[in-house]
Amino acid sequence: MTWELFVQNLFNALTVGSLYALIAIGYTMVYGILRFINFAHGDVFMVGAYFIFFGVTAAHLPWPVAALVAIGGASGLGILVDRIAYRPLREAPRISALISAIGISFLLENLGLVVFTGLPRPAVQPQWMVDPITLGSIRILPLSFIVPVVTAILVLALLWIVYKTRPGLAMRSISKDIETTRLMGVSVDRIIALTFGLGSALAAAAGIMWAMRYPQIHPFMGVIPGFKAFIAAVVGGIGSIQGAVLGGLLLGTVEIMVVAFYPTLSGYRDAFAFVLLIVILLFKPTGLMGEKLEDKI
């Protein structure tokens, strides 16, 4: 492999990895607080991509405004899903919430099919994002710079919220002990809603950028990235935001680089993530940066 190709692949890996990281954060935050896998998260990502598509094509909003509307709409959807499908099950066994989440995931996908139709649609791409830049002999899409930078900004903003603000403090406190936090006078349901809102906003941001990277949107586009991002969260250590970022970048790198070095394995690409998941679960179930979660007896 020439070094030019290697650098291009490196940028690809960074882009895909950043997107996995953004989605993974939503999984990890919800798991950290409520201890269940929000299966519907990948579909919020899909809805985000659709919102910006219709914002630009149907409502004729300028692209940046449409992006903000899409992110806002998706985070509203995340909060709504929590309110309708998860909050009634707070006291139920955790698996019930998981089954409910699987139901919501299928609901969103098929509702997408009904409302948006199954026709794949072209993503809206501002031209300056897709004209490749040439650095010497390397051709790189501006997107490959924009995505990691935007991701870094969003992650830093999230970390600031979680570690420096009072709602963030409440979030961390809920993840340690929900009952005690309630007794301290924190409105737990509101903080959980905030968590869903933030996670969904990041997923929508990822969805918008994903649609530019792979310029087609369809109702089932969230399934595979959703699974992979969840795996990234487990690899990084579920419950840890930094871990989710690390896991996302690692997964992106593994996927792109293995296929780049061994093109014959490209058919198995979608299996890498699951193999990685099983290896991690076997040898380090807490992930790279996770704390040990003890089952209470």
Partner 1 sequence: MSAQAVKNTPMVQNHSLRNGLSTIVAIGLLFGGLWLAEQHFDGYQTQLLNLVAINAILAVSLNFIYGFSGMFSLGHAGFMAIGAYVSALCILTPGQKEMLWLLEPIWGPLAELSTPFFFSVLMGGLAAAFCSFFIALPVMRLGGDYLGIATLGFAEIIRVLFTNIAPLTNGAIGLRGIPAYANAWWNYTWLIITLFIILSILKSNFGNVLKSIRDDEIAARTMGINTTAYRTMAFCVGGFFAGVGGALMGSLVTTIEPKMFNFQLTFNILLIVVAGGLGSVTGSMVGAAVITLMLEWLRIVEAPMNFGFVIIPGIPGMRMVIFSMLLVLIIIFRRQGLMGTREFSWNAFYNSIGFKDRESFERSES
Q: Residues interacting with partner 1, by CB under 8 A?
A: 36-37, 84-85, 88-89, 92, 94-96, 98-100, 102-107, 109-114, 117-118, 219, 223, 227, 230-231, 234, 267-268, 270-271, 274-275, 277-278, 281-282, 285, 295, 297
- Tell me if 24 sits within 8 A of 232, measured CB to CB: yes
Pairwise CA distance, residues 208 & 212, whole Å = 7
Residues contacting 231, CB < 8 A, separation 6+? 247, 251, 273, 274, 276, 277
Q: Tell me the closest approach of the beta carbon of residue 85 to partner 1, in angstroms.
A: 5
Q: Tell me the closest approach of the beta carbon of residue 230 to partner 1, in angstroms.
A: 7
The residue among 36 and 50 lying less far from partner 1, judged by its C-beta, is 36
Q: Tell me the closest approach of the beta carbon of residue 134 to partner 1, in angstroms.
A: 36
3-state helix, strand, coil in the chain (%, to 5): 75, 5, 20
Q: Tell me the closest approach of the beta carbon of residue 96 to partner 1, in angstroms.
A: 5
- Tell me if 256 sits within 8 A of 9, measured CB to CB: yes
Q: Tell me the closest approach of the beta carbon of residue 240 to partner 1, in angstroms.
A: 16
The residue among 9 and 96 lying less far from partner 1, judged by its C-beta, is 96
- Tell me if 232 sits within 8 A of 143, measured CB to CB: no
The residue among 95 and 130 lying less far from partner 1, judged by its C-beta, is 95
The residue among 120 and 126 lying less far from partner 1, judged by its C-beta, is 120
The residue among 138 and 281 lying less far from partner 1, judged by its C-beta, is 281
Residue of 32, 28, 23, 31 lying closest to 98 (CA atoms): 31
